[in-house]
Structures are given as C-alpha cells and as structure tokens.
Amino acid sequence: MFSSMMQMASRRVVLQQPGSLSAMLGGNLCRTISKSSEVNNSDYMTIRSDSQTQKPGRSSSSCDSKQQIRLKKVSRTLSTLNFSVPEAAAQTAVPKSESRDFMAVFPDLVRDLTEYGRKYDKNVATKWFVRALQYNVPQGKKNRGLASVLAYRMLAKHEDLTPENIRRAQYLGWCIEMLHSMFLMIDDIMDGSTMRRGQPAWHTLDDVKLVAINDGIMIDAAIFYVIKKHFGNEPYYARLLEEFSEMKFITTIGQSLDLLSAKMDVTQYTMDVYKSIVFHKTAYYTFYLPVAMAMHMTGYTDPEMFRQAKTILLEIGQFYQAQDDFLDCFGDPAVIGKVGTDIAEGKCSWLAVVAMQRATEEQKEVMKECYGSPDPEKIARVKKLYEQLGIPTTYAIYEEESYNMIKTHIQQISRGLPHELFFKIMEKIYRRVLWNLKDIFPGGERTIRALRNEGKRVIYVSNNSVRTMEDYRNRLGRLTDYTLDEDDVVHPARTIIEYLRSRKFDALCYVIGSTNFKNCLRDAGFHIMEGPNDPIEGLHDAIAQINDQQPVKAVIVDFDHNCNNLQLQRAQLYLQRCNDCLFIAGAMDKVLPVGPRMRLIGSGFYVEMLQQLADCKPIVLGKPGREMSKAIKRLYSIEDPHRVLFIGDQPGSDVKFGSISGFQTLLVGTGGVRPEHLLTMGEDCDEETVPNYYIPAFADLAQVVLDVQAHVAKAAL
C-alpha cells in the first residue's frame, strides 16, 4: 500500500525518512499545520485533529546519514513566495469564458491572413506562415490581448458593447498578441532560449533555425493588414497605427538596452539602468498598449487621460518585470514555461541590481567571476549568493510595498478613467507569486476544506500581535467556509496571556508593544503601564521619568513602531531592580525589511539589548520559542505531540518550532526551499531545522488528502 501511495504522490511529496505522509493522513494522524513567514506580521496556521488515534513513530535523523535532507534557511517576510505554481503561469487575467471567446476568434484570424498571403503565394510560403502563426501566437496566457478586450468592456458605453464591437476588440487583442509573439521569437534567438511557453522555442526546431527571424517579421507585417481590415474606416485608425509603430520602436530600444547592458560589468548595474530597460522593453507594449488600444476604440482623446493611464501602467510594468526576473531565477521551468537564462546571459535584472547594492567587496568579486557565465556551477554560486543576501526576503517586501504604492496612485487618478480597470490588472499580476492572506494563494482554500472534511480543526498561528481579531477575520475569511472566532487564532499576545494566567500572575506589567497588543492584555484583566511617549530634553528629566519606583513584576516586549530609548531604559531599570521580575518576549525578529534598501530594527534587537544590560534571559512566547510551544499545547490540550503535523515554509522558524515541540514537521517549498536545495546544503546540520516531509506547495496537500480518501475507500471494499 505504502509504495504505491508514495509513487502516486511522488510529484508532490519528498520524504526525509521511511514512512508516508499519505499514510499519516490516512491514519487520521494530522493534527497541527503551520504555514508562516518569519517576521512579525506574517501568518501561519495549525490544524489539529479532534479525535485521538495511534501515535506514529518518528525516526531519528543524523547529520552523517546520506538519507538526511538538509535545508537552507532562506529568510521570508510578509508573504509566502510560490516558486512552484505562480498564478499567472496557470491562469489568465479574465474569466475562462472570456478566454474561450477570445480563442474562438483565432481560427478566423488565421483564415483572413491565409487569404491575404495567397494573394502573393498560394503554396509554400503561406503554409509556412500559417504554421509559424499557429505554433507561436495562440500559446501562453494571452493576457495582453485579453487585457485589451477587458479594457474595452470596462471603458465602452453599455450601448456600444455589441457582439460586433467586442469581436473587433478581440481582433485588436490578437494584433497585440502577434506583436508579442514576434518580440519573443526574436528575443529567444538573441538570448539563446530553448523553451518558450512550455514548448521548444520556435528557432530550435530542426527545420526552422534562423528562418525564425523572417517568420517574426512576417507576423509583425501582418498586424497592419488586420488593423486595416477591421478599423480602416474608423476615425482613430491612424492613431492605432501610430501606437503600434511607436510601441515597436520603444520596445526595440528596450531590447537594445537589455543586450548592451549584458556587456557591462555587473558592478555597473544600477536601478536607473534597470528601470530604463524595463520601461522600454516590457512595460509600454505589455501594459500601456492594450489599454491605449481600448481607449482609442472607445473615443478617448484627452492627452491627460492617456498620460495618467501611462504613468500607472508603466509602474505596473516595472512591478511585473521584477516578478519575471525573480521567476527566471527561482521559478520552476515546468510551470513558468521557460528555462531561466538571466544569470548565464549576464542580464541587468532586478535581482542582480539589488545584490550589487548589498554585496560586500568579496561578494562583488563572486558576482564578477560568475555572473554572465553559462557554467552551471557558477550559476549555482550566484543563486546561493542571492539567498545569502536575502534577495527572496527583499523581493517579498518589495512586491507588497510596490503593490500598495501603485494602489494609492490608482486611487489618485482624476480624469474619469475607471479605477477598477487598473485594480483588476494589478491584482492578477500581484498574485503571480504571492499569497499575503488578502489575495488567496491558489488552492489554499481547497486544502483547508479537504483537511476539515477529514475531521481536522484549523487554527491560525501568527507572530504578529499588531493585527486585531477583526483584521484576522477579514484576511483569513476567504480561506474558510466558517466564521473564525478568537479560539481559531494564536499570536504572542494570546500565548503571553495564557502563560501569565498559568502562573496566576496578578501584579503590574510594564509593556512595550503595539496598541492592539496592549489592549489584548488589558482586556484579559492584566494591569499594565506604558510609556513615556513624550519627548524629553535633559538627563535629569529623563531619569525622573524612568526611575519611578513602580512595583513592576513583569517586563513584556513585543514589536512596537513607537518604541523609544526612554521606554527601553525604563524596562532595563525594572529588570535590574527586581530579581523576581519576569522578562517576557513576544516576536523575536531582529530585522523588518520594508524595501530593497530599507531594513528596520525589529523587536528582537530590543530584547537582546535588554537581556545583555539587565543580565536576564527572556521567556520567549513567540515562535520558535519553547514557551510558546508549551502554551499552545496547554491551549489546545495537545497530550501527544507526536500526533501533530506542523507545516510551514521556513526551516529556521516553522520546522524548528515543530521540532522543539515534538511535532511531526512538513516543510512547504513556497518559502524558498526547493527540492534541489534539500540535497545540497552546507556542512552544518541543525537537527531541529530538518523536516520529516517536504511538499512543493501548500495547495498540493489537497490532492494528497483526496488520494488518501480514495485509497481508504478502496481498501474498505
């Protein structure tokens, strides 16, 4: 039974040791699931069984064992990166019905172009042209063409949304797809790319080779016939031609910048150079052109409206390209449809620019030696350096911060363009890589539903006490088919409350933490004090404020944006003055990255400083603290930790937390650890960061559960 189950699930589950995750689920042994990031405002979840079953064995692991899977610590923040199944790699930006309608026009487009070609050649060249069209143009997600149709539907008056006009918008969308295909065909030749849209690049076919250059030119030339056929009598016909002509010139400028930058020394890469490449090569024709086409079709002529649309759409284009660069390095070729080549080709990518901003002189020498080389070992060294520099972490924060900034800019549009159009485009792109619990990670809700159907209770655990319960309900509600209550969410404020109650603590607490964190303690009945918050000048006044002789018996520190030096000094004096004063810590993250060049101090540094100055070890009630583990076991009456499966995406926090708790652990690859990383770790072996199981994405667990259900049902017959 086990061998067939493991074979069936081998696409999804990598086991560290003998035994099967499928068997574990089938035996009703899944009790706790965690999914999280490492910083204070990231979330993960636990799932526990409501029933008791037999305890599974847990094999010991050894650093010397060849079976040992060693995991890299790749810091993650704010969101869960998905290197395996980015949404845009699997979905289009519009409903499936719209995509089907769009595809239904393509045969008519081919028929029109076939007739056009036969005016000049009735046999060989036309047949070849049709083959090139069918191989290159209708593949991929067609988001550019579909975006043009979407924009037309949202911009046109209701009475203008006739089948004929929508069909013409679809033809215009196909013209954009033809332009895109031409650029890709030429780009693949120049870059030497071997895969495109999940199939061999056109120029790699034995009977094509460099003929692909001419094929790209033919496809490009055919665009103008399609525009003339369907829009030649329209007053905006000339503007359509001008837009396409300008987009080609702008994009070739970007292509030139891209190729020339590859000849530069990597140390010369700057964000300004990168942005120029992105705007010209990608953003204009990918994002601005589809919307501009729809604006022309619907009668927009105000230059200011076009300017505002262009500003927003170019920002979206830069956002998109940074994602594309990230996927080129860390994405799965089987999913994204191409093999990443940016490192081998020495491209001026977002990752390379940020790496050079952060690298030490020694690390810059590694980049100079390895970047731009096709040698697989050198490519691996660059990827390893990216991870050492925390590029996955920085990218996650960059993505969320950029998303929020662009949303703000969209809301500031003042000339009558519908905000919803830009939000729809942005949201679909944003979800290519990221799940931040606001936009649901694809398949997450199915996994939770499947587990709940097996009798599991879902509990969300977070290191973030800044959020309110209402915020958690809003963010997590889409993952569930039931209403969350306070017992479904665990964070440091809650575990601290549970810890204090377990000690029957009723004395005064001094608290450094967010407003919500302090409100949670107050609502639980604890007497707390805070501050000082007002600025003070002069040492005498400062001492008077902090040396207040209050009977504080617990100093509690969690993340607080408003933490100041006087508060830390006050906490220090309380700890030094009272030998039996409790020192309690919540979130222990030392760094909070908020952008490529900005890393803010986290509460972990505050705790560490107080520990050194007051010579007092903290009781850590945030992950991966042992006291938090004890608190969770008490809260949910976990009597047998071996019957718990703890799932998370970080070896250094989630897996470690599960291990020190005695839980079974499942590492999810969406935090940056890919299958090849499991076997290529460094010499150091931290037993507590090695999981029992590995799975590429949380969404994959749903199918494992369904497979187990099917097997159990079959065995019962």
Mean pLDDT, rounded, of the chain: 79
Residues 398 and 494 occupy one common structural domain? no
Residues 453 and 373 occupy one common structural domain? no
How many domains does the chain fold into?
A: 4
Q: Which residues pair with 582 in a beta bridge?
A: 554
Residue 68 lies in a domain: no
Residues 226 and 256 occupy one common structural domain? no
Domain end point (choices 412, 431, 450) = 431
Residue 74 lies in a domain: no
Residue 197 lies in a domain: yes
Q: Per-residue pLDDT tens for 454-478?
A: 888 777 878 888 877 777 776 666 5
Counting residues of the chain whose pLDDT is more than 70, the rounded percentage is 78
pLDDT higher than threshold 70 for residue 707: yes
Of 55-64, 265-274, 672-681, which has the strongest mean pLDDT?
265-274
Residue 2 lies in a domain: no
HSE-up (13 A, CA, CB side) for residue 164: 4
Q: Per-residue pLDDT tens for 587-635?
A: 887 766 544 445 567 888 889 999 999 999 999 998 888 999 998 898 8
pLDDT higher than threshold 90 for residue 584: yes
Residues 226 and 241 occupy one common structural domain? no
pLDDT higher than threshold 50 for residue 699: yes
Residues 493 and 519 occupy one common structural domain? yes
More confident residue, 643 or 8: 643
Residues 378 and 450 occupy one common structural domain? no
For position 562, what pLDDT does the model report? 84
For position 335, what pLDDT does the model report? 55
**pTM for the model:** 0.55
Check whether the bond before 392 is cis (ω within 30° of 0).
no
Residue 412 lies in a domain: yes
Residues 245 and 229 occupy one common structural domain? no
What's the average model confidence in pLDDT over 280-288? 94
pLDDT higher than threshold 70 for residue 418: yes
CATH number of the domain enclosing 334: 1.10.600.10
User: 158: Cβ–Cβ under 8 A, 6 or more apart, which residues?
Assistant: none
- Taking alpha carbons only, the member of 241, 240, 256 closest to residue 183 is 256
CATH number of the domain enclosing 565: 3.40.50.1000
Domain limits for position 346 = 237-431
> Which of 33-47, 268-282, 424-438, 660-674 is predicted least confidently?
33-47
With beta carbons less than 8 A apart as the criterion, state whether 288 and 179 touch.
no
Using alpha carbons, list the distances in angstroms from residue 466 to 42, 127, 312, 484.
Answer: 11, 64, 31, 18
What's the average model confidence in pLDDT over 224-231? 97
CA distance 105 to 166: 11
Detail the DSSP E strand segments found in 195-320. 195-196, 199-200
pLDDT higher than threshold 80 for residue 141: yes
Residues 282 and 426 occupy one common structural domain? yes
Residue 56 lies in a domain: no
Check whether the bond before 618 is cis (ω within 30° of 0).
no
- How sure is the predictor about 677, in pLDDT bands with cuts at 50, 70 and 90? low
Residues 121 and 186 occupy one common structural domain? yes
pLDDT higher than threshold 80 for residue 429: no
Domain end point (choices 198, 233, 268) = 233
Residue 603 lies in a domain: yes
- Taking alpha carbons only, the member of 588, 434, 621, 601 closest to residue 40 is 588
What's the average model confidence in pLDDT over 119-124? 91
What's the average model confidence in pLDDT over 537-543? 79
What's the average model confidence in pLDDT over 326-342? 74
Residues 300 and 395 occupy one common structural domain? yes
For position 530, what pLDDT does the model report? 92
What's the average model confidence in pLDDT over 666-693? 67
More confident residue, 210 or 651: 210
Residues 592 and 676 occupy one common structural domain? no
Domain end point (choices 622, 650, 684) = 622
For position 592, what pLDDT does the model report? 63
CA distance 717 to 710: 11
- How sure is the predictor about 338, in pLDDT bands with cuts at 50, 70 and 90? low
C-alpha 411, offset from chain centre: 24
With beta carbons less than 8 A apart as the criterion, state whether 490 and 625 touch.
no
Q: Per-residue pLDDT tens for 479-532?
A: 666 677 788 888 999 999 999 999 999 999 999 998 889 999 999 999 999 988
Residues 530 and 610 occupy one common structural domain? yes
Residue 481 lies in a domain: no
